[in-house]
Structure 1
């Protein structure tokens, strides 16, 4: 089991977090935090898309929104 956990450690430390280690010693705040901004933009776009999809289904009026629609209510 020890080798299994060491393999997981090696995967994360040496492979998946390697780009973050490369950005660690940059002098530019914008350059060092570019990956955070990219994730924030992706999250914002996904949230807007999801809200538009929810509005589309809500406008169709297909869902039963009665308070007794579920047995546990």
Structure 2
């Protein structure tokens, strides 16, 4: 049962942890779930700690996760459009 619940918890925590306005949740989950479990599994389900853990180990992320992670960081830094 715990093994079935882990992917659900991870999916619910990793996507929002990466960014609000960058790549969509599905892209984030697909690209980074394996890395999150491998590198930062001890922090599941704490979104902030997962994000911080992945940021601290960015050189160890898979190429696809690194691309999504970098895009998410860039989206966070970009100023939001004025209305």
Task: Give 1 or 2 for the bigger CA radius of gyration.
Answer: 1
Compare the two structures and name the one with the higher helix fraction: 2
Higher relative contact order (CA 8 A, sep 6+): 2
Please state which band the TM-score falls in when normalised by the shorter chain: under 0.3
Q: TM-score, normalised by structure 1?
A: 0.27
